[in-house]
Amino acid sequence: MKQIAIVICNYNYERFLAEAIDSALAQDYPGTRVIVIDDGSTDGSRAILEQYGSRVSTVLKENGGQVSAYNLGVEIADTEYVIFLDSDDVLYPGAVTEVMRIFEEGDLAKVQFRLDVIDEAGNQTGAYVPNTEPPTDCGSLLRDGWLYPSPPASGNAYSVKALKAIFPVPEGGINRYGADFYAIYGAALVGPVASLTQSLGAYRVHHAATPSVSFANSEQIKKAPKAFKERWVTLREVAKDRLSIELPPTFHDFAHEKAYMGSSLYHATLRARWRWMFNDSSAYLHTIVANPFWGLKKKMGTLLLSCLCLVPYSPLSDFVVRYITNPLARRSTAGN
C-alpha cells in the first residue's frame, strides 16, 4: 500500500491546532502518517503536541517562516504522497482515501480538491474554493504564464517526487511565507494535475464577518499582488535551473488582478474609478477576456459586473467591488 503524509505546519495557532490534528488522525486510509512541524511557536502549541504522544511525529524548529517549514517537510517526507495542511484548516473524514483513489488512476504530480470556507469559529459560510475547475494539463498553460485555479494550501495533495524537483526554495524576505505558491504551480510544471469537485476539507477565513475586499488570510490585499510578482520571479529561476523550463517574464491571473482592482476602486472617488479603468485596467480585463479557464457566460458576467464598479452611486459600486473580489460577499447576498 502506498503511503501518504499529512504535514501540518504550525505557528502560534494553539486555538486551532488540535482540530487540525484530529482531522488528520481521523482519516480512514491505513497508510496515513501525521507529521506536525512547529515553527517556533511561543503560545501553547507545543503543550498541545505533547498530548498526542506517538500518534503524531513532531518536529520542533526555530521560527523561520512557512517556506522553511515546507522545505523541511519535503525533505523529511518518506512517503510517496503528502498533504500540507494549514494548522487552522481541517480535512473531512475520507479525504485521503478519495485522494489516493485518484492518484492510483495515473502518474499525477498533484490532486487538488475543493475546500468549504468556514469562519473563525468553524461555522460554514456557504462559500467554497476554487470556483473554477482547471484542465488536467495545467503545465502547458502555466508555461504561457497562466496561473491555474487552485485551492489554498490545504486543498492539495502532492507527489513527493514532484515536490522534491522544486523544493527547497530560497527562504527569507518575501519567501518567509507563500510556500504553497511554489508547491501549487511548481508541481504543475513537473506533471499532470487532477481536480476533485467535491469538498474534502475546510479553509478557515479569519475576520469573515467584516465586509471587505480581502479574502486571503496571510497577506493584506495591497501586499499580496507585489508578493505574487516576486514569487513568480523565484519560480522562474527554479524552473529554469532545475527543470530547464523557461517561464515568461510576467504571469496572468484573475485572482491577482482583482486584488489590484479591489485595492484601487474600493471607497475610491468616481473620478479615481474612471481613471483606473482608462489607465490601469488592461491586465485586469485581459485576465477576463483571454481567460482559458472560463466560458463565455462567466466572462460576460464578470465584464458586466466590472462596469457596475463605475456607476456614480458609491454604495452600489463598493458592493460590486466586494462581490467580485471576495467570495464571501456573494454568499451573504445569496442568503438574503
pLDDT of the residue at 336: 38
Is 166's pLDDT higher than 70?
yes
Task: Answer for the pair 171, 280: CB distance below 8 angstroms, yes or no.
Answer: no
pLDDT tens digits, 265-309:
999 999 999 999 999 999 999 999 999 999 999 999 999 999 999
Q: CA-to-CA distance for 107 and 286, rounded, in angstroms?
A: 33
Strand-pair category, 4-10 with 32-39: parallel
Cα separation of 239 and 234, whole Å?
9
Mean pLDDT of 119-147: 91
Report residue 327's pLDDT band, with 50, 70 and 90 as the boundaries.
confident
Task: Write b or e for each residue in 170-205: b if 16 or more Cβ atoms lie within 10 A of its Cβ, otherwise e.
Answer: ebeebbeebbbbbbbbbbbbbbbbbbbeebbbbbbb
CATH 3.90.550.10 segments of the chain: 4-222
Give CA–CA dist 143/248, Å, rounded: 7
pLDDT tops 80 at residue 331: no
What's the CA gap between 323 and 265, in Å, rounded? 13
Task: Compare 218 and 25 and report the one with higher pLDDT.
Answer: 25
Over residues 120-138, mean pLDDT: 89
DSSP 90-119: EE-TTHHHHHHHHHTTS--SEEEEEEEEE-
Whole-angstrom Cα distance, residue 166 to residue 291? 26
Contact 233, 240 (CB under 8 A): no
pLDDT in tens, 11-21: 999 999 999 99
Would you state the cell numbers that stand for residue 202, as one nine-digit string? Answer: 475546510
The more confidently predicted of residues 136 and 86 is: 86
Q: What is the pLDDT of residue 173?
A: 81
Instruction: For strands 110-118 and 156-159, give the pairing.
Output: antiparallel
Tens digit of pLDDT for each residue in 170-189?
Answer: 997 878 889 999 999 999 99
Q: Which of 27, 195, 34 is nearest to 105 (CA)?
A: 195
Residues 139, 250: Cα–Cα separation, whole Å: 16
Residues 6+ apart with CB under 8 A from 241: none
Q: What is the pLDDT of residues 35-68, one digit of tens each?
A: 999 999 999 999 999 999 999 999 999 999 999 9
- Alpha carbon dihedral 176, 178, 183, 186, in 10-degree steps, equals -100
Q: What is the DSSP letter of 178?
A: -
Radius of gyration of the chain (CA): 20
**What's the rounded Cα separation, in Å, for the pair 24 and 12?**
19
CATH fold of 4-222, please? Answer: Spore Coat Polysaccharide Biosynthesis Protein SpsA; Chain A (3.90.550)
**Above 80 in pLDDT, residue 333?**
no
Crossing angle between the packed helical segments 314-325 and 327-334, to the nearest 10 degrees: 110
- pLDDT-derived band at 245 (thresholds 50, 70, 90) equals very high
Residue type, 157: A
